[in-house]
């Protein structure tokens, strides 16, 4: 089986590449080649740039499946599909849980209503990212029909996740002590391990499955994430809830309580076709080890210890 990954250099893309190789596939990765960690030597690296429309490296070759991780606007997927034509077999578009309308109740599945599509946006924000992904999904489905597969990950973490979104809280738990938490401890999470997303994607290709699938991790809470990290690091924590408006906007993993239902979506369909469920403790342990191995570089988000101490002193 031959698989082409568009955007294989990111941490989720790398997990998909490694899973595909482990299951005997031949893999090519298309990217600018300017970021991300080096890919395994057996991967064929194709260099281009979706931002400038440089797809020359894809004008020859045939694959059994294409996995698109770097399509964010319709022009991205439309140009790629135009170049590939029928040489790509199944088209797996990696979308996002952000396609769904907000304020949904817990337990919704892939049939939940989506947001209104947006074909382009100058800047991708919380208000434009999801609608742009909706429009991308529509174009992929229109072009490929039953050869189209849509994967909608929730929040993803795992070794290689340099975004810092989950890592901030993992590090904070590992450090121990009083933890300033700008939400309730029971705020829900469904963090999915990047390797589980990868296993789902490759299995869907192997089984030639069409349709949409929620790639969502096990039910947990923000407090559990912090406490698991503390336990693994042999520290203890005292979680101190503080007001959300006491921290900067878009603070890591924080959602308004009205949107908590979005962190309790149903993963039943994906699990039924082979998506594994890595325990949160395993994921956190592996992230901690990866972070340690790379030297725990400074994060650009969250609170510094000094800022947190000031907030805690006011409680």
Other Cβ atoms less than 10 A from the Cβ of 288: the count is: 21
Count of Cβ atoms closer than 10 Å to residue 163 Cβ: 17
With beta carbons less than 8 A apart as the criterion, state whether 10 and 158 touch. Answer: no
Per-residue CA distances from 103 to 33, 98, 170, 212, 301 (Å):
38, 12, 27, 20, 26
**pLDDT tens digits for range 143-161:** 999 999 999 999 999 999 9
- How far is the C-alpha of 282 from the C-alpha of 92, rounded, in Å? 27
CA gap 228, 139 in Å, rounded: 41
What does the pLDDT read at residue 314?
87
For 223, residues 6+ apart whose C-beta sits below 8 A from its C-beta are 181, 185, 186, 187, 239
- Per-residue pLDDT tens for 70-79? 999 999 999 9
Whole-number pLDDT of residue 259? 87
Per-residue pLDDT for 36 more than 80? Answer: no
Residue 105 CB neighbour total at 10 angstroms? 10
Distance of CA 263 to the CA centre of its chain: 14
In a 10 Å sphere around its CB, with 0-12 CB exposed, 13-18 middle and 19+ buried, how is residue 123 labelled?
exposed
pLDDT at residue 175 in the model: 98
Dist. CA 9–CA 137, nearest whole Å: 22
* Residue 123 pLDDT: 85
Query: Does 227 have pLDDT greater than 90?
Result: yes
- The tens digit of pLDDT for each residue in 44-72 reads 999 999 999 999 999 999 999 999 999 99
Helix (H) or strand (E) holding 192: strand 192-193
Q: Could you read off the pLDDT of 104-128 as tens digits, one per residue?
A: 999 999 999 999 999 988 888 888 9
**pLDDT per position as a tens digit, 185-207:** 999 999 999 999 999 999 999 99
* Per-residue pLDDT reduced to its tens digit, 86-100: 999 999 999 999 999
For the chain, give the mean pLDDT: 95
Percentage of residues in the chain with pLDDT exceeding 70? 99
Q: What is the pLDDT of residues 253-310, one digit of tens each?
A: 998 888 888 889 999 999 999 999 999 999 999 999 999 999 999 999 999 999 999 9
Beta bridge partners of 6: 30, 68
pLDDT of 33 > 80? The answer is no
DSSP state of 113: P
Band the pLDDT of 220: cuts 50, 70, 90. Answer: very high
Considering the entire predicted model, what is its pTM? 0.96
Predicted local distance difference test score (pLDDT) of residue 261: 85
Residues linked to residue 26 through DSSP beta bridges, in sequence order: 2
Q: Spell out a b/e string for 269-282, using b for 16 or more CB atoms within 10 Å of the CB, else e.
A: ebbeeebeebebee
What are the helix (H) ranges across the chain?
11-22, 74-84, 129-144, 165-175, 194-207, 222-232, 268-272, 280-293, 305-313
- Residue 293 phi/psi, 5-degree rounding, is -60, -30
Phi-psi region of 129 (alpha: psi -120 to 50; beta: other; left: phi over 0): alpha
What pLDDT is stored for residue 63 in this prediction?
A: 98
Tokens describing residue 303: 């609170």
Token pair, residue 103, equals: 């304020």
Q: Which pLDDT value is given to residue 72?
A: 94
Q: Is the pLDDT of residue 35 over 80?
A: no
Q: Cβ(81)–Cβ(140) under 8 Å? A: yes
| Coil/strand/helix, residue 169 | helix
Which one-letter DSSP state was computed for residue 57?
Answer: G
The encoded tokens of residue 64 equal: 């059994």
């Amino acid at each position: 089986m031959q698989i082409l990954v568009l955007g294989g250099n990111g941490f989720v893309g790398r997990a998909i590449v490694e899973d595909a190789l482990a299951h005997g596939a031949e893999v090519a990765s298309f990217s600018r080649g300017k970021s991300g960690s080096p890919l395994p030597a057996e991967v064929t690296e194709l260099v281009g740039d979706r931002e400038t429309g440089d797809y020359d490296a894809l004008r020859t070759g045939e694959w059994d499946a294409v996995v698109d991780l770097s399509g964010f606007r319709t022009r991205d997927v439309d140009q790629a599909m135009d170049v590939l034509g029928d040489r790509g077999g199944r088209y797996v578009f990696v979308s996002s849980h952000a396609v769904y309308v907000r304020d949904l109740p817990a337990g919704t599945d892939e049939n939940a209503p989506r947001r209104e599509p947006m074909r382009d946006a100058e800047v991708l924000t919380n208000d434009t990212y999801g609608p742009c992904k909706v429009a991308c999904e529509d174009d992929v489905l229109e072009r490929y029909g039953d050869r189209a597969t849509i994967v909608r990950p929730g929040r993803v973490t795992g070794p290689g996740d340099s975004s810092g979104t989950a890592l901030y809280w993992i590090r904070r738990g590992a450090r121990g002590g009083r933890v300033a938490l700008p939400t309730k401890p029971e705020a829900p999470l469904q963090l999915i391990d990047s390797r589980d997303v990868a296993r789902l994607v490759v299995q869907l290709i192997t089984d030639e499955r069409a349709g949409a699938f929620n790639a969502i991790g096990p039910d947990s809470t923000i407090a559990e994430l912090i406490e698991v990290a503390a336990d693994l690091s042999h520290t203890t924590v005292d979680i101190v809830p503080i007001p959300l408006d006491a921290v900067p906007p878009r603070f890591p993993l924080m959602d308004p309580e009205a949107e908590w239902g979005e962190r309790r979506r149903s993963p039943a369909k994906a699990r039924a076709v082979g998506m594994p469920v890595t325990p949160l403790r395993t994921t956190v342990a592996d992230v901690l080890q990866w972070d340690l191995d790379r030297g725990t570089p400074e994060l650009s988000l969250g609170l510094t210890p000094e800022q947190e101490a000031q907030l805690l002193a006011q409680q």
